[in-house]
Chain A
């Protein structure tokens, strides 16, 4: 069964600190996609990244970086030099099977991140 676990319900850090949000997933498929979304207080879902299960290269985008490790079924997200504007709820998500079954996105419960000035 597919499942996404974000064990950290809430994290608070002081501005400029680095913070890592953990994500562990379960799937029986060999082909799948992993995502991170940001949900600021305004409520919309902001897409951050999508990774194919065959691409284990880590990715960096500005202050954001992602560490994908198939061996531990983890897809962790790190914010470097955090800023108050990073305060939001962050969701890790999984989508399976690019072929003919349903392609819904399974979301984790989210991690609420507070960046304190």
Chain B
């Protein structure tokens, strides 16, 4: 158990809908990362937040957005969902920024868009 929690574990929704994925980092971790694992793109970085502020952006679609709240939990919002958004979404957390800080991965949220 990494100490990172993600809810829900599974999510099934229809095209065009909007969903919110939630992540609670490990106690004391200030940095949260979102990754997407899809069949065609593999595991790729989406976005990082550090202490409430966006820090880095990867290949995140404009239909996707995220935020980190004062209690440090983070939400990833996916809107106008398409079939291709079906994927496993991982959240990771680390103590601070910088790659010397180890990232701990949550169990993931499996999103199925029908």
Interface residues of A (CB under 8 A from B): 32-33, 37, 43-45, 47, 50, 52, 91, 95-110
Contact = CB atoms under 8 A, between A and B. Distances in A.
B11 interface: no
B97 interface: yes
Majority secondary structure of chain B interface residues (helix, strand, loop or mixed):
strand
Nearest to A91: B43
Contacts of A103: 48, 56, 94, 97-99, 101
Contact of B99 (A37, A45, A47, A95): A95
Contacts of B73: none
Given A99-B98, A103-B99, A43 B56 contact: no
Contacts of A106: 45
B108 A98 contact: no
A104 B45 contact: yes
Contact of B42 (A95, A98, A100, A107): A107
Contacts of B58: 104
Given A44-B107, A47-B105, A107 B44 contact: yes
17 contacts: A43-B88, A43-B110, A44-B107, A44-B108, A47-B2, A47-B105, A52-B100, A91-B43, A98-B98, A98-B99, A99-B98, A103-B56, A103-B94, A105-B35, A107-B43, A107-B44, A109-B42
Contacts of A95: 99, 103
A104 B98 contact: no
Interface string B74-96: 00000000000000101010100
